[in-house]
Amino acid sequence: MTPEALNSFFSICIGFALAGALVSGYQALAQRPAGFGLLQDGVAPKTFAAVPFLVFAAPFIIMRNTLRGVRVESRRVEFVMMATVIAAFWSMMSGTFFLMTLRAAGLLV
């Protein structure tokens, strides 16, 4: 495995872990699951605060909704595969950003 592939895999793992931690923390505090419905409150400060949260929590929410849709709606395999690729790519981007932020702060070498 090349160092670039290993770095991408590590970024995907960090991105999914960060997304899962954010969604679990939100659910523990708000007593309801996080979702994209947080953006439907119109123009309000909490809607603007939800945007950065959803940027990093989206991979977990996408996969949770996809797996729930497989069980409830019997979604096709193609849809599940597409959602998984989108969530993994999104996770890689957010994980890369998180790792770059840690490196810039001097917390990661």
List, for residues 28-45, the tens digit of each pLDDT value: 999 999 998 888 877 888
Written as six digits, the tokens of 71 are 């069980």
Domain residue ranges of the chain, discontinuous segments joined by +: 3-104
Written as six digits, the tokens of 86 are 């989108």
Q: Which spans in 1-109 are helix H?
A: 3-30, 45-73, 77-104
Residue keyed to tokens 């595969």 = 81
Q: At what angle do helices 45-73 and 3-30 cross, to 10 degrees?
A: 100
pLDDT digit string (tens) for 41-59? 778 888 888 999 999 999 9
**Pair 100, 7: CB distance under 8 Å:** no
pLDDT digit string (tens) for 60-104? 999 999 999 888 888 888 999 999 999 999 999 999 999 999 999
